[in-house]
Chains A and B, each alone.
Chain A
Amino acid sequence: MNSFDYKKEITVDAAVKAAADNKAMFLAGGTNIIDLWKYNLTNPEKLIDINDVQEISTIQLLENNGVRLGALAKNAATAYDPLIEKKYPLLSKAILAGASPQIRNMATDGGNLLQRTRCYYFYDPDVPCNKREPGSGCPAIQGCNRIHAILGTSEHCIAVFPSDMCVALAALEAVVNVTGPNGDRKIPFADFHKLPEDTPHLDNNLEKGEMITSIDLPPNHFSKNYAYLKLRDRHSYAFALVSVAVAFEMDGKTISKARIALGGVAHKPWRVPKAEELLRGKKATMENFATAAECILAGAVGRGDNDFKIPLAKRSIIRACEMALYPESQIPGAGPSL
């Protein structure tokens, strides 16, 4: 616990080099890693403070008219960035639905992708958890699982990925730029996080020593019709039980392109491209939204306490699709109403 070395690095190259050691971790906003460390859930031997790496801290317009989010851009700065507010208002909304203003001032965009699950059992070092201690078991399956996953689970893990921002990034088909000992690579957002399968201790497909440097948002026409709907146990500052990001490209009353991503239901932001295809070229009607919702929830399994998430997710999808037709009615913090 108290035995880590601390080093501040100011360039990506130096940081990646410093991370070549065993059990080194990057420290950015710290809003999750310090929390986990205090619970004795993570034990870095070395923390590499990358907060002053200026080269990956900015938000810039790309040549293709997309936008690049530096990995160290803060959540709040991103949500309120004029470029993001104008071109990707869905992302702004999703970020502002998460955490608290203080945390959004600290947390970084890259760090948001790397936050760990909020599963009660993962967070308790004194009980079994396959994510924390592979092979120890998953008490959530038979236990308090109201907050747990209904899609893409395995017999080893039913944890959910807690991010709001990433639900929007999934819908927007962002691309994650990473660098590491073996050079740079681009990871499509859908491939960044993984399902638990039999390796629930891994949340994502980052290789050892790799660092997120930025997140690219491709150009799109989703800035007119979008919605982020989040359902939780209080009106703010709580993790999603179910959240839905919807983005439409509309041609009159016809949907020419649809993206729907769910949060709070799986080990990663949940997208079903087939369901989005179902909506392409269709009228924006409740019936069509319902068909898409059924398709997205196909194969969902409840474990008792979380059974409600299946009907709730369907209704939330329908509602979010409806909200996306009238985005101006989405007052921040006003809850899921039209």
Chain B
Amino acid sequence: MENNSSILTSLTINSKDYKLELLPWVSLLDTLRERLNLTGTKKGCDHGQCGACTVLCDGKRILSCLTLAVTKNGSDITTIEGVADGKELHPLQKAFIEHDAFQCGYCTPGQICSAIGMLREGKATTREDVKELMSGNLCRCGANSGIIDAIMQVKEGIDHE
């Protein structure tokens, strides 16, 4: 239903520039999933209650389900598809595999994007801090311990640098 109320929106997603005609009520999440076929970003609740749709917007972790895409005109978005460096996985991606930090895999992209944002924020010192600051990302399979183990491994690597 693209009509004349569409708004030209420029987004840089995973270093690629997009110019999109978007209706104002289309969420960033549905833009990614339904219009750009970037389905790595997941819809788990669509109401800001699970964290599965977490992406990085201008470097900060946000919920794409509660974001109207048109409001992010000019922004730089990173989704899970843009986290690895080509074929070379991001250290968090490797650590998630090593620590079996997922089962069904559905919350995983959100957990990884959120963890990248969390580490960048630099507010977590202890494992307890990491647990608290990752609590916006639910995991129903109960892979929580592996997720925190994986993040702690990467965090300790960064802390030692």
Bound state CA distance, A38 and B46, in angstroms? 8
Bound state CA distance, A102 and B47, in angstroms? 13
Write out the residue numbers on chain B whose beta carbons fall within 8 Å of the beta carbon of A101. Answer: 61, 114, 117-118, 121, 133-134, 136
- Given A101-B121, A102-B54, A4 and B63 touching (CB < 8 A)? no
A187 at the interface (CB under 8 A from B): no
| Minimum CB–CB distance for A91 against chain B, Å | 16
A235 at the interface (CB under 8 A from B): yes
B112 at the interface (CB under 8 A from A): no
Report whether B129 and A30 are in contact in the complex, using a CB–CB cutoff of 8 Å. Answer: no
Q: Interface residues, chain B, CB within 8 Å of chain A?
A: 5, 7, 23-25, 27, 46-48, 51, 54, 60-63, 65-68, 70-71, 73, 114, 117-118, 121, 123, 128-129, 131-137
Write out the residue numbers on chain B whose beta carbons fall within 8 Å of the beta carbon of A76. Answer: 121
Q: Which of A141-149, A211-219, A327-335 contacts B (4 or more CB under 8 A)?
A: A327-335
Write out the residue numbers on chain A whose beta carbons fall within 8 Å of the beta carbon of B23. Answer: 2
- Given A6-B7, A105-B62, A47 and B136 touching (CB < 8 A)? no
| Minimum CB–CB distance for B122 against chain A, Å | 10
A34 at the interface (CB under 8 A from B): yes
| Minimum CB–CB distance for A33 against chain B, Å | 9
Closest A-B pairs by Cβ, 4 of them? A100-B136, A333-B132, A6-B24, A236-B135
| Minimum CB–CB distance for A3 against chain B, Å | 9
- Chain A contact patch, size range: 20 to 34
- Given A4-B24, A6-B7, A103 and B48 touching (CB < 8 A)? yes
Report whether B70 and A6 are in contact in the complex, using a CB–CB cutoff of 8 Å. Answer: yes
Report whether A31 and B24 are in contact in the complex, using a CB–CB cutoff of 8 Å. Answer: no
A233 at the interface (CB under 8 A from B): no
Report whether B132 and A27 are in contact in the complex, using a CB–CB cutoff of 8 Å. Answer: no
Report whether A103 and B136 are in contact in the complex, using a CB–CB cutoff of 8 Å. Answer: yes
Bound state CA distance, A102 and B117, in angstroms? 9
Ordered by A's residue number, 9 sampled pairs between the chains whose C-beta atoms are within 8 Å are A1-B25, A4-B24, A6-B24, A27-B71, A35-B47, A35-B66, A101-B136, A103-B66, A333-B129
Write out the residue numbers on chain B whose beta carbons fall within 8 Å of the beta carbon of A237. Answer: 135-136
A51 at the interface (CB under 8 A from B): yes
Report whether A30 and B68 are in contact in the complex, using a CB–CB cutoff of 8 Å. Answer: yes
The answer, among B25, B118, B129, for a CB contact under 8 Å with A332, is: B129
Report whether A106 and B67 are in contact in the complex, using a CB–CB cutoff of 8 Å. Answer: yes
Write out the residue numbers on chain A whose beta carbons fall within 8 Å of the beta carbon of B123. Answer: 80
- Given A2-B25, A106-B62, A31 and B135 touching (CB < 8 A)? no
Write out the residue numbers on chain B whose beta carbons fall within 8 Å of the beta carbon of A332. Answer: 129, 132
| Minimum CB–CB distance for B53 against chain A, Å | 9
Report whether B132 and A236 are in contact in the complex, using a CB–CB cutoff of 8 Å. Answer: yes
Bound state CA distance, A51 and B51, in angstroms? 22
| Minimum CB–CB distance for A296 against chain B, Å | 29
